[in-house]
Each structure stands twice: as structure tokens, then as C-alpha cells.
Amino acid sequence: MHSTNPSPIYLDNNATTQVAEEVLEAMLPYLTQYYGNPSSMHTFGGQLARSIKQSRESVAALLGAEPSEILFTSCGTEGDNAAIRAALQAKPNKRHIVTTQVEHPAVLSTCKTLEKQGYRVTYLPVNGKGLLDLHQLKEALTDDTALVSVMCANNEIGTVFPIERIGHIVKQRDILFHVDAVQAVGKLPLNMKDSTIDFLVLSGHKLHAPKGIGALYIRKGVRFRPLLIGGHQEKGRRGGTENVPGIVGLGKAAELAMEYFEEEVTRVKSLRDRLETGLLSTIPDSQLNGHQSLRLPNTTNIGFKYIEGEAILLSLDREGICASSGSACTSGSLEPSHVLRAMGLPYTLLHGSIRFSLSRYTTAGEIDRVLQVMPQIVTRLRAMSPFNSDTDEQQGWLQEKQQDLENVAVR
């Protein structure tokens, strides 16, 4: 189904990004002209191996890694699953995992499944800004801990965790360290050569490559057993015929990410700050969710009291503006964001929080348009909202909802 608006104002880049024209151009020959199987004996198919090699080198360069440390996957979820399960297989006598309450569902759901298989999982809390207490992390580690899994940057609020400080704590106990860096790659500097990370995951569609392609960094010397068992592809680490067009696209996207990195942390950040400052200064009873400075340059999550986020999103959509109320992988749920719940936000903010995530394609004119329509939307919705009153009945209802939230165990 095609949108009636051919040019939306797209501020949902943490969900997925526009495929770069350069990426599409690089991929097209491998969908039409060079369609062979890279495992074939004949030259027509075998020549594709050189293209895969070049893309592996490009992804490795973006991460500051060796090409041999890069494994191509189908997505971030596969990478997280493969890394977590490989880490546990490498430490078969240990049954404890440490992660956080604000991880992506790819990690949280895997950990919940592993709990049913007899593993013990510690879910570390965060404070009101979405930050971890590193002393709590250190105290959570035991002789039975096989793996620590902590995301690099949160997909909903953009908060960045001190990954290398965490890694040094983890390595003092000889524990494997997995990092979901899906939102961070291309937006934060990463250098695996000097890192304590054992497994790092990225996804192509978060950095202007297509959906269906990702990569897993596996530090040299770390034991790895494949999640997908089949042929000899990826040096026996992932069975299945290689997605050559996707791999080529990811390689090109990695090159572009290095080329545009400074723009990401300067111009895009400036537009993000302009949007954020404008909304907070013109809309009363609004607040920033997350940390002011320790976050991704493209992400802002703002709570608007007394109204539902879904109503805001529908109103924005009618204006041709795309935003989000949280993770795209959980947006179909009626439950409030597990990230915002973990931060302890009050009910009046929890349901009215919107994430705006920019990209290098975002323009100043688009930001101005959002600043023009958003105050009107909030004013109109608040006038209609039953939450926006101080009656005893309404306040009692809100207190009841707040108590319900506090009684729910955060994953």
C-alpha cells in the first residue's frame, strides 16, 4: 500500500532509514547482471566472492576491526541471538547472564527464553535519565556469569552507555562481553582494535542500507559456534547462500557512514537540538526523556503530559510527519515503553512520549514544519483529553494507573 504523501517528513530513522542512492546504485548490478552464486565453481558465480571481500573490508574499516572478524547476518536480531548463544556455548559450565532492563527486544526476549531453559538472568535497572549504575553492574557479576550483554546506545531515548568502562569491569572477571550497537554504528566512534568487546552487532537498515542485511563482529580468538548450520559460507560460521546484493549495499553504506560521520555529529545534532529546544520552549508540560548530553546526536524523546502518544502520532501523520512512540519492534503493543517504565516516568508522561530521530537527509525546513504544527496538535489534543483536569475523580484515576505501573515488574 503506497502513501498518499510522496514526500513525508521522516523523523523515524531509529526504526529504519532511507536507502542511500549510492547504495542502491552499488546493489543493482548484483540483482540483474551479476546474479550468480558466489560458491559456484564457475567464474560467473565465483567472481562475486571478490565483491563480498571488498564489502567485508569496508564494514571492518567502519568498526576499526579486521575483515576476518566480520560475519554477515540477515539483521540485528540474528546477530544478537547468534552472539548470545555462542557466548553461552563457549562457557558451558556457567549459567548466569547480566543485561539491562532497557535492551532491545532481540536481547530481552532471548534472555527470557534462556531463563526457561535454566539460565539465571540479572536485569540491571537504570535511573531517571536512563543511565546505569556501574557499581550495581560490578556487584551483579559472579563466578557463574558467562556473559554480559549491554547495548551501546538506546534506541528509544538515545542514551549512550560507557561501553569501554563496562568492558573493563567485565574483563576483570574473564566474562564474555556482547554489545548491541545497532543504533550506534555510524553515529558514534567505534574502534574494535582497542576495545574490550567480544561480540558487536549492527544492522544495515539503520545506516541507509536495505533491510535484510547486518553484520556481527567476533573478536579474533573468541570461540564461536554458528546459529545457522548448513554450508561452508562465512568460513563455516553461518550457513546459507550469501545475500550478495545486501552485502554489497552494506559495504557501500559503511563507506558512506565514514564519509558523513562529521555531518552526523554536527549538522544533524544541531537540527535535533533546534527541534528539541523549540518544542520544549513552546509546549508547556513537556520534558526531555533521557540524558541531555550522553546520547546519540540524532535522537530526542519528549514527553507531553496529559495526552496519548498514539493520538499525537496520528495527528502528525495527517500532516505528513513520521515519528514514533518507541521501538518499532514493540509499537504494535498497547503496553507502555519498557524503557520509559524502567526510568520510572509518571503515567502522565509515559503514554504521551514521542521519539523523533533524524538522519543526514533531514532538512531545516522539515524541522521548521514540525515546530509549526506540533504546538497546535498538543493544544487541540489536551482540550479533548479527560486526563487534563484536577478533579478528585480524575486525580484518583491517575493515581490508580500510577500504582498499577509501579506494581508491574519491569523486564
Please list the active-site residues.
329
Q: What angle do CA 59, 12, 80 make, to 5 degrees?
A: 45
SS3 (DSSP) at 228? coil
If one counts every other C-beta atom within 10 angstroms of the C-beta of residue 170, the result is 24
Measure the CA–CA gap between 179 and 192, rounded to whole angstroms.
12
Tell me the DSSP string of 340-379.
HHHTT--HHHHTTEEEEE--TT--HHHHHHHHHHHHHHHH
What is the radius of gyration, based on Cα positions, of the chain?
Answer: 22
Question: In 117-154, which residue ranges form alpha helices assigned H by DSSP?
Answer: 134-140
How many helices (DSSP H) and strands (DSSP E) are in the chain? 16, 12
Instruction: Determine if residue 17 is left, alpha or beta; phi over 0 gives left, psi from -120 to 50 gives alpha, anything else beta.
Output: beta
Cβ(117)–Cβ(168) below 8 Å: no
